[in-house]
Amino acid sequence: MTIGQLHPCIGEVLLTREVLQERVSEVGREIAADYADKQPLVIGTLKGAVVFMSDLVRAMEPTPAGLELDFVRASSYGAGTVSSGKVALTMVGGTDVKGRHVLLVEDIVDSGRTAAALLEHFSAEGAASVKLVSLLSKPSRRAVQCEPDYQCFEIEDKFVVGVGLDYREEYRSLPYIGVLKPECYES
């Protein structure tokens, strides 16, 4: 990627489109093998995980029979960059998770609160199994015990955008993971 194609607010690219694509393909194939006989219910968190989920499910080759998709809205952040610690959940498509092998798709596991709350919710609803796949993980920020079963990349403690991740609803469509320039944060 040339510097000229970069969004003007991106100061540093942590993960290029090519690097992302290769790793997501690898993890997709691993998940496909693990879920070949499980008719997985793949549940993505809105809105952040949508872009990753779209790449991931198409990388699940061979496609597990009976794979279904749904989405859950999980809000813990509000408009800023610091977690409020509270997580509100809404299932979007209304799929019953009872007896299903649920694979929760997250954009990033930061404090771990969002993913931990969702995993616990699906278990309590009677899922046959519940696992977590995350595009990114910031292990140094963990506040609760929550490790992805599958993860594409570990990153250091920087606020990143792109591939579904936003800052005040912007930058979700960027095809790479980048760090904003300080002048692009509103104070």
9 or 115, CB closer to ligand 5GP?
Answer: 115
Pattern of binders to ligand 5GP over 134-173, x per CB under 6 A?
A: -------------------------xxx---xxx------
Which of the choices ligand 5GP, Mg ion, none does residue 27 contact, using the CB cut-off of 5 to 8 A by kind?
Answer: none
Nearest-10 crossing angle of helices 17-34, 50-59: 60
Cis? peptide before 148, omega within 30° of 0: no
Does residue 40 touch Mg ion according to CB under 5 A? Answer: no
CB of 47 to ligand 5GP, least distance (A): 8
Quick check: 143 and 109 in contact, CB under 8 A? no
3-state DSSP assignment of residue 126: coil
Residue 110 falls in the annotated catalytic set: yes
Handedness of CA 82, 84, 86, 90 (dihedral sign): negative
C-alpha 173/C-alpha 187 separation (Å) is 23
Does residue 110 touch ligand 5GP according to CB under 6 A? Answer: yes
Quick check: 53 and 70 in contact, CB under 8 A? no
Half-sphere exposure in the Cβ direction for 42 (13 Å, CA): 25
Does residue 41 touch ligand 5GP according to CB under 6 A? Answer: no
Does residue 48 touch Mg ion according to CB under 5 A? Answer: yes
Segment contacting Mg ion (CB under 5 A): 14-22, 29-37, 42-50, 121-129? 42-50
**What does the binding site for Mg ion look like in residue numbers (CB under 5 A)?**
45, 48, 106-107, 166
**What does the binding site for ligand 5GP look like in residue numbers (CB under 6 A)?**
48, 76-77, 83, 106-115, 159-161, 165-167
